[in-house]
Amino acid sequence: MGSIADTTTLANGVKMPWLGLGVFKVADGPQVENCVRWALEIGYRHIDTAAIYGNERGVGRAVRDSGIPREQIFITTKVWNDAVRAGRDAVLRAFDQSLQKLGLDYVDLYLIHWPVKEKCLEAWEAVQQIYLQRRARAIGVSNFLVHHLDDLRRHSGTTPMVDQVEFHPRVLQRDLIAYCRQHGIQLESWAPLMQGEIFKIPLINELAGKYGKTAAQIALRWLIQHQVVAIPKSVHRERIAENAAIFDFELSEEDMTRIDALDRNQRVGTHPDHFDF
């Protein structure tokens, strides 16, 4: 059943923890610093931020102040759409800014945040350059569907190592699972708890009672058993700890199938083909 220290191995051999802390909409300064500090104290070794979140400074400060060797913590950040639209040099500058705010020499994973139409190939060239310079240990994308990934692979000849997407019991994306497994791309879930909507699903609550766990723990365990990395967000220490307590039980094959059947292609975020920001 494993532990919070368990990792998946990316296509280039880099090890990425299955569970991380997401900090979307967490305020920079004391709030994000406390969240990251608590997570690291609990045993998390994976923190996910982004340029647009506006809290890279606080994340970096908490990581540096933790006393944990840098190489033991997996840090992800992402390039926002304005830089992608502006082109290759803007992406390189955006990465420099993220590193400076984080106060780090490198990140473990750098992602293109959204599939900006007709601009991703140029942005991907910049991201590959960052990787070749060893300033990012792994590179990938976020919110890319099968056709976005296929286009990137065909025109660049390079496969992203990670695709971070909306993925939870209401959005299973079976075609994306199959494609990523075929091409060695690690799937990662943002909004794994459906921004709180998971607690309204009767089956998830029923299974929480059956296994003596919370609804959040059932949803996160389901993701891990699907071999999808999860980065739940919380600003409460007890919830951060609760989200990590998913390695002492296993969902049965029958219950996994029942959760799979909840798929309605029902998103809590924007569809990647319809975003405009």
**Contact (CB, 8 A) for 47 and 73:** yes
Catalytic, 106? Answer no
Active-site residue, selected from the candidate residues 53, 110, 131, 179: 53
Cα separation, 84 vs 75, whole angstroms = 21
User: Would you give the DSSP letter of residue 54?
Assistant: T
CB atoms inside a 10 Å sphere around CB 268: 16
Q: Would you say 15 and 137 are in contact if contact means Cβ atoms under 8 Å apart?
A: no
Nearest one of 39, 59, 43 to 51, comparing CA atoms? 59
Tokens encoding 191:
């909004």
Q: Is the distance from CB of 159 to CB of 153 less than 8 angstroms?
A: yes
Query: Residues with Cβ < 8 Å from 107, sequence gap 6 or more?
Result: 75, 76, 77, 98, 99, 135, 136, 137
**Cβ-contact 188, 165 below 8 angstroms:** yes
- All residues at 6 or more sequence positions from 237 whose CB lies less than 8 Å from its CB, including other chains: 34, 38
134 HSE (CA, 13 A, CB side): 0
Active site residues: 53
